[in-house]
């Protein structure tokens, strides 16, 4: 972990830093140049006695900066003592490949690399935060960020709070019957499916299965329910609201649920939580 910048303002300590994505150490060939470093910003109550926990806020689609998450989530949660870590998604912000335009990934496989990288990066940050004495810990995100939060939380060994907003167990229906279904080149896909070579190749994939009330992006019909995957979890439905409207207008509800979930996680103890600052930090 490398801390590149630290400053204080209005009783808040701000940090910025970076580290090498853990996935890069195992599969460097998957990363285009510039994607391998994870850049983050941290916001912490300056006085340690006012710190009530820490939440990683993951970026939604098109969120290339820290601005939305800092002003939509972190600032108000800081008033309740919850520290925040905001990370840049792989392929977003300063991690965007030179050839890539905006949020339009160059390859379908880039989305899988993004998810796998975020799993390792969140685990790295949670371990660093726990060693620094932060508890309880949580992960949240909106839309794509919520889905990525689920992926990351499924690989965490400590009990943590998970709050995926406007998200569900799979993104597949948005392409097959949701808002993006008209943008899919179904004729070309049909040609691929008629090829025996393609059918043989896809049959080798072991698992290839084909929250708001009016959401055309997150469709919950005929797909696994979150409560099936995580017994004891709670789902809140926002009535009469679509995906984009909820994304911009429901931050107060999202923050409320984050607070509730963090408090519920407080009763659990981490495996081991030293109070000293980790020694593996390089200040630049």
Q: Does domain 2-168+211-283 have CATH number 3.20.20.150?
A: no
Domain range annotation of the chain: 2-168+211-283, 172-210
Indicate if the alpha-carbon torsion angle 142, 145, 149, 150 is positive or negative: positive
- 180-227 tens-digit pLDDT: 677 777 788 788 888 888 878 877 765 443 344 444 444 455 556 666
Cβ of 111: how many Cβ atoms within 10 Å?
Answer: 14
Give 23's pLDDT tier (boundaries 50, 70, 90).
very high
Return the residue matching tokens 């290339």.
64
Sheet holding 53-58, edge to edge: 161-165, 137-142, 53-58, 82-87, 37-45, 12-20, 2-9, 282-283
pTM for the full predicted model: 0.74
The radius of gyration of the chain from alpha carbons, rounded to an integer in Å, stands at: 20
Asked whether the predicted pLDDT for residue 56 surpasses 50, the reply is yes
> pLDDT tens, 100-156?
888 888 888 898 999 999 999 999 999 999 999 999 999 998 888 888 898 898 889
Q: Positive or negative CA dihedral for 67, 48, 254, 155?
A: positive
Average pLDDT over residues 27-38: 94
């Amino acid at each position: 972990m490398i801390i590149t910048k630290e400053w204080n303002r209005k009783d808040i300590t701000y940090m910025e830093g970076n580290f090498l994505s853990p996935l890069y150490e195992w599969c460097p060939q998957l990363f285009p140049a510039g994607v391998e470093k994870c850049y983050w910003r941290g916001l912490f109550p300056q006085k340690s006695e006012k710190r009530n926990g820490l939440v990683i806020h993951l970026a939604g689609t098109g969120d290339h900066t820290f601005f939305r998450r800092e002003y939509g989530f972190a600032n108000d949660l800081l008033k309740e003592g919850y520290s925040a870590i905001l990370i840049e998604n792989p392929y977003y912000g300063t991690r965007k490949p030179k050839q890539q335009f905006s949020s339009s990934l160059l390859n379908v496989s880039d989305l899988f690399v993004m998810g796998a990288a975020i799993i390792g990066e969140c685990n790295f940050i949670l371990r660093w935060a726990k060693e620094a004495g932060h508890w309880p810990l949580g992960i949240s995100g909106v839309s794509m960020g919520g889905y990525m939060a689920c992926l990351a939380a499924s690989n965490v060994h400590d009990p943590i709070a998970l709050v995926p907003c406007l998200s569900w167990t799979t993104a597949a229906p948005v392409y097959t019957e949701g808002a993006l279904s008209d943008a899919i080149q179904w004729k070309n896909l049909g040609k691929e499916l008629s090829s025996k070579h393609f059918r043989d190749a896809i049959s080798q994939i072991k698992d290839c299965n084909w929250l708001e009330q009016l959401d055309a992006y997150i469709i919950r019909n005929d797909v696994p329910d979150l409560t099936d995957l995580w017994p004891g979890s709670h789902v809140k439905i926002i009535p009469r609201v679509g995906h984009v409207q909820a994304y911009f207008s429901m931050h107060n509800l999202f923050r409320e649920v984050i607070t509730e979930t963090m408090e519920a996680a407080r009763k659990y103890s981490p495996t081991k939580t030293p109070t000293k600052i980790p020694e593996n930090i390089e200040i630049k």
